[in-house]
Homo-oligomer: A and B are copies of this chain.
Amino acid sequence: MLKTMLKIDTRFIHKDIRKRADDLLSPACNAFSELVAKTCRGREWTGFWNYPQQQGYEVNKGIDSYISTIPHAYDAVVLLGIGGSLQGVQAVHDALRKTRLRLLFAGYHLSAGMTNAVLEQLEQCQPLLVVVSKSGETLETAVAFRVFRNYLEQRYRKHEACQRTIVVTDPDSGSLRAFSNANNCQAFSIPADVGGRYSVLTAVGLVPLALAGYDTTMLLQGADAFYTQMINTDNPAVIYAATRNAAYQADKHVEVLSYCDPHLRSLAAWWQQLFGESEGKDGKGILPTTMALTSDLHALGQYLQDGRRNMLETFLVVEDMQSASTQVPTDPLPAVGQRQDYLANKTMQELNAIAINSTRLAHHDGGVPNMSIILSRLDAYGLGYLFAFWQTACAISGALLGVNPFDQDGVENYKRNMLALAGKSGLESEAEKLRSRLQ
């Protein structure tokens, strides 16, 4: 059963690209070996590989025992984070939607309206605050931390506010670590060798998910199973990486991830960050975009079928969504009762599968090569497996593309401008130049 937790179907990749992909299997296997041996480019960031066995289970135990000692009642968790410090948690929460309390998100934007909406909801809750930032300097999270700290201190006074605040940050340095030391807050560490977008199975994801009542042990076990099984040749991560690079070489510069249920939207966003930030550099990289099935067939379906032929499509299909089966009732339209007779006695799940298969065929016929990632079931275990699969595939894919899949120097450019325009001292002359360009 474990063997088929995840399969890749490449039948609807056109022949020329499949041939290229075959040629890339051997370099992809090499890249995989270098990842496992930690001899690859960016090797100092490969701590995500086999993390559950290395540290994850231990960290998870520590989190569980902390949770059993929390001195105050709580029925809500507010997670402050952005990018890699947020998207993995949102992915799990959106996909599984089973929490024992309210899980709210802030610190990922500079929207006063969104911030105020979360603050309003807290009036009916007893919240804990989890703030996640490696440096503690991330603007959006730092701003939200001030707003929510202020709220907690006014409501609970300083001592209890600190007890309701949990920090996930660098083990030694940075302003959040300094804050937690000075105020005696509970703190967890982000490992030094795991980058933000590869961190969902570290304390970054485990702390808020465990607090919200998700089964983080199952999440780790799913990832662990992937790492344990993948030391063999039919590695789906190798196949996925080789296929998308083959498509890229054949001028497919965009990958559309078409996911089988709107509940997977945050998971798709997590995938988009993982691949976009890992590969979009040095003037190259597949642009990752996403599409919800079947909703977005009524928005992007026309483009996929008949627009510019520069796309690879990847279907994310889940065989068992673990939701109650919904039978379609008989037709309420007596006047035209026979027109949709083919719907009768089908479940929504069956119709969704038919729609997706129809789309795979139609897009292939329209000239869009497509593959499917088929996950056998959507639970914490399956998600853990999928996270590990995609992170591994991303490391391999970046190596094939010839980039370092673990850095992100490009995000510094707007940040430098921002600090100057926001008035950080020492940057006055840069700020003046920028302002003159904006006038």
Chain A interface (Cβ < 8 Å from any Cβ of B): 82-84, 87, 97, 108-117, 136-137, 139-140, 142-143, 145-147, 149-150, 153, 175-176, 178-179, 181-182, 253-254, 261-263, 269, 272-273, 276-277, 279-285, 287-289, 292-295, 297-311, 321, 323-326, 328-336, 339-343, 346-349, 351-352, 354-355, 357-363, 365-366, 408-411, 413-425, 434, 437-438
CA distance A269 to B418 in the complex (A): 28
Excluding A178-B335, A276-B299, 5 further A-B contacts by CB distance (< 8 Å) are A108-B295, A142-B340, A253-B310, A279-B307, A281-B302
CA distance A219 to B24 in the complex (A): 55
Given the known interface contacts A137-B340, A328-B146, A333-B179, the answer about A109 and B302 at a Cβ–Cβ threshold of 8 Å is no
Whether A114 contacts B361 by the Cβ 8 Å rule is no
Whether A298 contacts B362 by the Cβ 8 Å rule is no
Whether B114 contacts A262 by the Cβ 8 Å rule is yes
CA distance A365 to B280 in the complex (A): 16
Q: Closest residue of chain B to A113, judged by CB?
A: B323
Q: Closest residue of chain B to A363, judged by CB?
A: B414
Whether A352 contacts B178 by the Cβ 8 Å rule is no
| Least distance between A318 CB and chain B CB atoms (Å) | 11
CA distance A41 to B207 in the complex (A): 58
Given the known interface contacts A346-B422, A348-B110, the answer about A301 and B145 at a Cβ–Cβ threshold of 8 Å is no
Q: A307 touches which one: B287, B298, B301 (CB < 8 A)?
A: B287
> Which B residues touch A411, using CB under 8 A?
297-298, 301-302, 305
CA distance A343 to B149 in the complex (A): 15
Q: A423 touches which one: B116, B306, B323, B342 (CB < 8 A)?
A: B342
> Which B residues touch A178, using CB under 8 A?
333, 335-336
The residue in A281, A305, A414 that gathers the most chain B C-beta atoms within 10 A of its C-beta is A414
Q: Closest residue of chain B to A365, judged by CB?
A: B413
Given the known interface contacts A303-B287, A308-B284, A343-B142, the answer about A414 and B175 at a Cβ–Cβ threshold of 8 Å is no
Whether A348 contacts B115 by the Cβ 8 Å rule is yes
Q: Closest residue of chain B to A149, judged by CB?
A: B332
Q: A299 touches which one: B176, B277, B325 (CB < 8 A)?
A: B277
